[in-house]
Structure 1
Amino acid sequence: MPIQTETELYAPIKQYFEQQGYTVRAEIKHCDLVAIRGDEPPLIVELKKSFNIPLLVQGIERLRLTDQVYVAFELPNKGRAPHRLQWEDVRRLCRMLGLGVLTVQFYKRKKPAVDLVCEPTPYMLRSNKRAALRVVNEFHERSGDYNVGGSSKMKLMTAYREKSLHCAYLMREHGPLSPRQLRDFTSNKAVSSLLQKNYYRWFIRQSRGIYHLTPSGEQALSEYAHVLTAFAIQQPAIQPFRSER
């Protein structure tokens, strides 16, 4: 059963730090919990019933007073990370903010258990140039903005889907085509792989080196008709097919 107030967190967390040799006091200059051990800098803990933005904001504010700042909250149901995150997401976020994280699990017949999720150690996120380049390439390879930001559980118009649609559109307009023709008309050097993998099952090989549309491909052209305008503008002059043997 969830705790009723954040004050229920105080006693187990106080005991947790006292067992490590700290002297603990509550509500010092608006700080929920302050712990000091010998001549060490103060340690501050901010308490909330659950993990949320106000808790993080409070923690960041306390970093003006000391580097040793923790945020603490009740362990969510079944030990899952809050807000459908992974615990590694919570750790990474709080480390980037310079905050430590503590959780408290309450039991009916046992004493509460305090768990250290992460220490307040500064964390630098490494840049991933390869991933950044993939974002830039995906941006430039799309012909337009066909998605709505924040969408979920919906088919997205990716650059790969656009390239597949472009091939399907050319086949609908001009009949069966070869990979060489499609490569020339779309400037897509990977068109042969696209046809062979046939991820969406839109294409069928009619004979050696010749591909045409499946019923699924025809349906896709109707479903994504709003995307085809860009392809119509680039309409190529199709040369009669000659065997590539």
Structure 2
Amino acid sequence: MKSTTQVYGMTLDFIWPYWEGSEVCLRQGKRKKRMLIKESDLYDPLKTYLEHQGYTIGAEIQDCDLIAIKADEMIIIELKTRVSVDLLIQAARRKDISDAVYIAVPLPVGKKDLPKSRGLKNLLRKLEVGLILVRFMKTKTRVDVVLHPRPYEKRMRPGKQASILREVDGRYGEFNKGGIPSTEERITAYKQEAIRIALLLREKGDSSPKDLRSCSARPDKIQAILAQNHYGWFDRVSRGLYRINPAGCEALDRYEDLQPDLMAIFREHVS
């Protein structure tokens, strides 16, 4: 079954999603499970694949790894053994020559996709660069075109922007350090408010959300934080009445050492 895709006004007959039959199998003989793949190993499968679609192929023309020509269409494909910054820069430069630019990289046996493929595809869409995977199997090689170089329409995410602004506004101060590993603790606005509530409960004893609202700068968050009890610091004594538990007291002692400036701000408002 033949599929035709319009890209930048050009008809690219060879651009088929692999589930629609865009597969060219080349008998390679028996291969070892682990093999060293060179950039030049990608050329023959792609050449056969494109020639099967009626394209004339050129190689190493003015620093372009592979050129495919049919009528007035020109497709440029850059070959590499892995995705790198250099490859992306190279592909972006080729956009000055043709709108239909692809990068082609190998995908070894047993791998379903490239590492961090979602982020990579998002970046390639913004660069308006296509992606071709060459899958080296035990006895054959398969070419899959998984992304087309279509014009990119930038879409803002107002919801995400509003969420960031709420987070900034919800913090009592900035007590994180930018660039820390993802395994290290972040003192978010939610956590700051939970610490403040825990401190209030330790000072005041059993209290209801209503009792705590007058002492909090974020009164609208108190009920949800107590009910969710995300950190396990609170116990519900009875309906609408909460107290801090030993885990909460231990957490406060820990933050006295780790975040003394934050705790000092909270103590000023505890009466």
TM-score range, shorter chain: 0.7 to 0.9
The letter for the 1-side match of 2:70 is R
* Aligned: 1:17 with 2:50: yes
Give, in angstroms, the shift of residue 62 of structure 1.
Answer: 0.4
CA distances 1:211-244 after superposition (whole Å, capped 9, x unpaired): 2110110111022221312212323x3xxxxxxx
* Aligned: 1:233 with 2:263: no
- Per the normalisation by structure 2, the TM-score is 0.80
CA distance in structure 2 between the partners assigned to 1:48 and 1:100 by the alignment: 14
Match for residue 54 of structure 1?
86
Matches within 5 A, 1:12-51: 12-40=45-73, 42-51=74-83
Match for residue 110 of structure 2?
78
Match for residue 135 of structure 2?
105
Residue pair 1:76, 1:82 contacting (<8 A) in 2 also: no
Structure 1 residues 115 and 202: CA distance shift in structure 2, 3 A: same
* Aligned: 1:221 with 2:256: no
Give, in angstroms, the shift of residue 89 of structure 1.
Answer: 2.8
- SS of residue matched to 2:47: helix
- Per the normalisation by structure 1, the TM-score is 0.88
Structure 1 residues 150 and 120: CA distance shift in structure 2, 3 A: farther
Percent of aligned pairs with the same amino acid: 36
Matches within 5 A, 1:1-245: 1-40=34-73, 42-76=74-108, 78-83=110-115, 85=116, 87-110=117-140, 112-148=141-177, 149-187=179-217, 188-225=219-256, 226=259, 227-235=262-270, 237=271
Residue pair 1:91, 1:117 contacting (<8 A) in 2 also: no
Residue pair 1:22, 1:35 contacting (<8 A) in 2 also: yes
- SS of residue matched to 1:121: coil
Worse-superposed segment, 114-123 or 144-153: 144-153
CA distances 1:129-150 after superposition (whole Å, capped 9, x unpaired): 1111001110121122233324
- SS of residue matched to 1:58: helix
- SS of residue matched to 2:191: helix
Residue pair 1:102, 1:118 contacting (<8 A) in 2 also: yes
CA distance in structure 1 between the partners assigned to 2:253 and 2:145 by the alignment: 55
The letter for the 1-side match of 2:192 is E
Give, in angstroms, the shift of residue 158 of structure 1.
Answer: 1.3
Give, in angstroms, the shift of residue 208 of structure 1.
Answer: 4.3
Structure 1 residues 68 and 196: CA distance shift in structure 2, 3 A: same
The gaps in structure 1 that reach 5 residues or longer are: 238-245
CA distance in structure 2 between the partners assigned to 1:143 and 1:35 by the alignment: 59
CA distance in structure 2 between the partners assigned to 1:215 and 1:170 by the alignment: 14
CA distance in structure 1 between the partners assigned to 2:175 and 2:231 by the alignment: 19
Match for residue 11 of structure 2?
none
Give, in angstroms, the shift of residue 23 of structure 1.
Answer: 0.1
Higher relative contact order (CA 8 A, sep 6+): 2
Residue pair 1:179, 1:210 contacting (<8 A) in 2 also: yes
The letter for the 2-side match of 1:66 is S
CA distance in structure 2 between the partners assigned to 1:154 and 1:76 by the alignment: 34
Worse-superposed segment, 199-208 or 28-37: 199-208
The gaps in structure 2 that reach 5 residues or longer are: 1-33
Worse-superposed segment, 63-72 or 221-230: 221-230
Residue pair 2:109, 2:137 contacting (<8 A) in 1 also: no
